Amino acid sequence: MRTLLKRYLHDLIETGDLVITFSDGSSSRYGDGSGPTAHLRFNNRQSEWQVALDPHLKLAEAYMNGDIEFIDTDVCDFLEVLLKNAGEAPPPPSIWSTLIDHTRRAAASLGGWNSLQRSRSNVQHHYDLSGELYDLFLDPDRQYSCAYFEDPADDLETAQMAKKRHIAKKLVLDRENLSVLDIGSGWGGMALHLARQFNVKVTGITLSDEQHLVSNQRAREDGFAGQVDFRLQDYRHLKTKFDRIVSVGMFEHVGRKHFDTYFDKCADLLEQDGVMLLHTIGQSSSPTPTNPFIEKYIFPGGYIPSMSEVVKSVEKSGLVITDIEVLRLHYAETLKAWRERFLDHWDIAKDLYDERFCRMWNFYLASSEAAFRWQDLVVFQFQLAHNPQAVPLTRDYMVGQAKGPHRARKASKSAQKKRKASAG
């Protein structure tokens, strides 16, 4: 099996400098010595077999379990060498791993059903982790989605605020007291921003107990309890119509079998003159199954759509696409910032969970950044409406500072102090 793995790496790695040290102490070097450098060491023979047979899952598990180590480099360096040579998707290194890959694809086409109960369980698996964990690497507003870097030098806080402004512009919040639905409202940051800046009434829904608790607490502290209503509810149970709908980072949890249901429901909930903005991770290539490591450990039930899948379901719903924007490297930069902050707080995360969890989370952030930087992941922003005339004729309204129809209210001083303290 070691010989097979060596042959595979020899054929795959043409540029860069990759060193593999095997469990018997022998080392092999791959690439032309130019560009990125990485050094991986196997600590036992079993991990060599496992990675050769099922690299998409077992490489991550081997790192989580301490069966492999990165010498004077890290997982991101290794993935850079690998993915720059492999293109959008590295081929499996053996016939057996090819069979595993085909089996996963078949299972993905048959599965993907997220019932009401399963959707709630999937969300709780990730989002009901300790709030202290998320404070280690997110901005104080806990924006857990792609930031928008208007300037490459922007820090995470600036870029996340820019993301909220950018989305608000596309919602065309041109008058007060509009009713807004936030599907997948997270810890409440987007809903509270819209209420504060545009004096709109927001209903936010989530399936996470932790997020529901925190977002309602924030609304009370900031003085928006009567204006922003956070609910523990599935979007499929909603009945009220809304002037605007926004959904940021939630569509990835819908499941490919439920795309038609999702857009049919949004069409039913959106007023005839309404506007919707969907912000979701997407694939710039044709549809492919969820990475098995992400599916098993990070986002069970999740699925990253290709544009063709989204557009097909939108068309069936009767909604029309009034604008599409593709954010390319913005999420790579967001994940880089998150990972740097997480690594800076490794010991705290280890006290919250354990060393294996920290390794898992590091691999999740690093592999996600790599997928956006060197593979086919992007972020789609779809602006949707019933009526094509619901938005202005040109895109000029998306340029410049988004301004609400009134002077924004500020959070109370006590709420600001609490937010600052939790971020610290």
Q: Rg of the chain over CA atoms, in angstroms? A: 23
pLDDT at residue 114, as a whole number: 58
Within 10 Å of residue 32's Cβ, how many Cβ atoms?
10
Condensed to tens digits (0 to 9), the pLDDT of residues 81-97 reads 999 988 645 655 655 45
Within 10 Å of residue 105's Cβ, how many Cβ atoms?
13
Q: What is the mean pLDDT of residues 170-180?
A: 95
Condensed to tens digits (0 to 9), the pLDDT of residues 28-58 reads 999 999 889 999 999 999 999 999 888 889 9
Condensed to tens digits (0 to 9), the pLDDT of residues 291-340 reads 999 999 998 888 999 999 999 999 999 999 999 999 999 999 999 999 99
Domains (ranges, CATH) in the chain?
Answer: 2-110 (3.30.1050), 117-423 (3.40.50.150)
pLDDT at residue 423, as a whole number: 44
Condensed to tens digits (0 to 9), the pLDDT of residues 143-166 reads 999 999 999 999 999 999 999 999
Tell me the C-alpha distance between 133 and 246, whole Å.
26
Burial class (CB in 10 A: 0-12, 13-18, 19+), 351: exposed
pLDDT at residue 124, as a whole number: 65
The β-bridge partners of 37 are: 17
Tokens of 159: 């870029």
Sign of CA dihedral 389, 392, 394, 395: negative
The b/e string for 179-195 (b: 16+ C-beta within 10 A; e otherwise) is: bbbbbbbbbbbbbbbbb
Strands (E), 52-200: 68-70, 179-183
pLDDT grade for 67, boundaries at 50, 70 and 90: very high
Condensed to tens digits (0 to 9), the pLDDT of residues 243-300 reads 999 999 999 999 999 999 999 999 999 999 999 999 999 999 988 888 999 999 998 8
Sign of CA dihedral 198, 199, 200, 201: positive
Within 10 Å of residue 269's Cβ, how many Cβ atoms?
18
Q: How far is CA 192 from CA 68, 220, 235, 276, in A?
A: 44, 11, 19, 17
Does the global pTM surpass 0.85?
yes
Q: Which residue has the tokens 């060193």?
A: 19
Helix (H) or strand (E) holding 269: helix 259-269
**At how many degrees (to 10) do helices 75-86 and 355-374 cross?**
30
